[in-house]
Amino acid sequence: MLNTILKYTGLFILLLAIQLLLLNNIQFSGFVNPYIYILFILLLPFETPSWLLLILSFATGMVMDISSVTHGLHTSATVFAGFLRPYVLNFVAPHEGYEQGDLPGIKAYGFRWFITYVIIIVALHHFFLFYIEVFKFEYFFRTLLRVLLSTGFTLMFIVIVQSVIIRR
Amino acid sequence: MRSLLNFLKKFGNVLLFILLELIAFYLLAARPNYHNIKLTKAINATKAAMRKKINNAVDYFSLSDINKQLVRENEELKNTLQRIYKSEELTTFNVTDSIYRQQYVYISAAVVNNSVNKQKNYITLDRGRLSGVKEDMAVICPEGIVGIIVEVGRNYSIAMSVLNLEFRLSARLSKNGYFGSLTWDGGNVNSLILKEIPNHVNVSVGDTVETTGYSAVFPEGIMIGTISDFDERGGDFLDIKIQPSTDFRKLSNAYIIANLKKDEQLKIESGIQGTR
C-alpha cells in the first residue's frame, strides 16, 4: 500500500515536471498544447474508488492551475475526466473484465486497448479544456482543430512516457 | 435515514463531482478578483518570488541581448537630448513655460512570469501598488507594446498580454493616421489583427502601425508592429495582419506607463456621454 502511494507520488511529480518545464514551453503556432499530466489520472489502479479519483483529479488540476496561472481551468477539465474514467473503463473493458491487481497499461491489456482508452479520455479532457478556455463559439472550428492536434500530440507523448515507465 | 444513505451511496460521486466542478468554475469566474482568495494569494506570492530566482539565473544567459537592447535605447534617448540642447542654444532667454506639463510617468519593471501558449495570456511584473502601479496602466517594452495592467498586488502586478482574446486597443497606420481596432485571434504569436481600416485606404506590406492614445491608456505613437499581410475580402474593411515588433517569447524588461491626465480625460468624456 505504502509502496503504491510512493510510486504514484513519484509519477505525479515526474509528469508535472515534464508538463511544466518542457511541454508548457512548446509553442507551434498556438495550435498544439499537449497536456500530458492527465496520464496520472489514467494510470491510477482499477480499484481506486470514484471519490478518491475525483479528489485526486481535483488536486492534479489545482497544481496545474496554480503553476500556470489559469484559475480553475485545468481543475474543471481534470475533474471532468476523472468523473468519466470509470464509465470509459467499463465501455472499453475486455470480455473477461479486468483482473484484480492489474494496472491500466500496455503491459496488462495490450497496445490497442490502451490506445482506445487513452484517446477517449484525452479527447474528452482536451475538448472540455479548450472550449472552457476560449468560452466563445466564435472560434468553434479553430478550437476544434486545436483539440484534435493537441490530442494527437498528447497521445504521442503518453505512449513515449508509458513505454519508458514500463521498463522501470 | 436509510433511504438518504442509499441515495448518497448511489449518487454521492455525482454530488462530489458537481461540488468540485462548482469550485473550479467559481475560481474560473472569479479570475479578475482572485487575489481575494487568500490561498491563491499566498501561493502566488511565493511562486512569483521563486520565479524571480529562476529568472535571475535565466536572465544571465540573455545578458548580451539585453545589453544590445539597452544600448539601442540609450542611443535613442541621447538623440532626443541632443535635439533639446540645440533648441536651447537658440533661445536667448529663459522662460518658465507653464504650457508643457508632464503627462506620462514610466515605471521600469522586470517580467517574472509570462506565457504565450494559452488563449488568454497574462504577464506578471515585479512592481505593484507600492511602486505606484494601478489598474489599466499601459505596459510596453523597448521594442513595442506588451499589454495592460489588470490586477495589482503589493509588490507584483499582472498585465493582460496583447496575446489575449480579450485584448482590444485602437491602433493607427503611422503614414496616414487611419485608425482601427487591434486584436489577437488566438492563433499565431507573430500575427495580430487590425480591423476597421476602410477598403479605400492605401496600405502596403511593411507599413508601421502604432498606438493612437485615444483610450488614455497608451501614449500616442508607441510602436506596435509592421503589416505582414492584408486582404480585401469583399467587405468595406480590410483584413490586416500585423507582425508585432515585440517578441513576446523573450520579454524580460518592461515599462509600466502611468497617464497623469487620464482621470481628467475619462471624467470629461463620461460627462459628454451622460448628457447625450
Domains of chain B, by residue range, sit at 1-36, 104-260
CA-based nearest residue in chain B for residue A56: B20
pLDDT of residue B238 exceeding 60: yes
Predicted-complex ipTM score:
0.82
Q: Does A48 touch chain B (CB under 8 A)?
A: no
Collect all residues of chain A within an 8 Å Cβ-Cβ radius of residue B45: none
Mean pLDDT of B105-117: 84
B91: pLDDT confidence band, cut at 50, 70 and 90?
very low
- What CA–CA distance (Å, rounded) separates B116 from B38? 27
Q: Is the pLDDT of residue A155 over 80?
A: yes
What's the mean pLDDT in B193-203? 87
pLDDT above 80 for B276: no
Residue-level pLDDT at B15: 87
In this model, does residue B272 exceed pLDDT 80?
no
* Phi, psi angle pair for B242, to nearest 5°: -120, 135
Residue B95 has pLDDT above 50, yes or no: no
Q: Locate A97 and state its grid cell.
A: 473484465
Q: What is the DSSP letter of A18?
A: I
Topology annotation, domain B104-260 = Thrombin, subunit H (2.40.10)
Q: List, in sequence order, every residue forming a beta bridge with B183; answer none if it has no partner.
A: B193
Does residue A51 surpass a pLDDT of 80?
yes
Q: What is the pLDDT of residue B35?
A: 41
Residue B89 pLDDT level (bands cut at 50, 70, 90): very low
In angstroms, what separates the C-alpha of A138 from chain B's closest C-alpha?
Answer: 10
Distance from CA of B124 to the nearest CA of A (A): 10
pLDDT of the residue at B275: 55
Of the two residues B62 and B84, the one the predictor is more confident about is B62
pLDDT, mean of residues B202-212: 90
Amino acid at B78: K
Average pLDDT of chain B?
80
- Quote the strand ranges of B179-234, DSSP E: 179-183, 192-198, 208-211, 223-231
Residues of A in contact with B116 (CB under 8 A): 27
* Cell 517574472 sits on residue: B112
Alpha helices by DSSP H, listed for A70-105, are: 73-92
Query: Cβ B185–A142 below 8 Å, yes or no?
Result: yes
pLDDT given at position B93: 46
Q: How far away is chain A from the Cα of B123, in angstroms, using its nearest Cα?
A: 10
Is residue A53 pLDDT above 50, yes or no?
A: yes
- Rounded average pLDDT over B158-169: 90
Strands (E), chain B: 104-114, 120-125, 138-141, 144-152, 157-164, 169-173, 179-183, 192-198, 208-211, 223-231, 237-244, 253-259
Question: Which of A59-68, B1-10, B45-54, B90-99 is least confident?
Answer: B90-99
Q: How confident is the model at residue B192 (pLDDT cuts 50, 70, 90)?
A: very high
Residue-wise DSSP of A57-73: HHHHHHHHHHHTT-TTH
Q: B119 to each of A163, B94, B164, how far by Cα in Å?
A: 32, 54, 6
On the question of pLDDT at B94 being above 60, the answer is: no
- pLDDT at position A84 over 70: yes
Give the residue, B52 or B28, on which the prediction is more confident: B28
Over residues B23-29, the mean pLDDT reads 84
Q: Which residue of B has its CA nearest to A69?
A: B122
Tell me if B111 sits within 8 A of B123, measured CB to CB: yes
> B265 vs chain A: nearest CA distance in angstroms?
33
Q: Report the range out of A4-8, A49-53, B145-149 with the highest average pLDDT.
A: B145-149
In one-letter notation, the amino acid at residue B261 is K
Residue B88: what pLDDT?
Answer: 43
The rounded percent of chain A whose pLDDT value lies above 90 is: 23
pLDDT score for A69? 72
Q: Are B155 and B165 in contact (CB under 8 A)?
A: no
- B47 at A interface, C-beta within 8 A: yes
| Arithmetic mean of pLDDT over chain A | 84
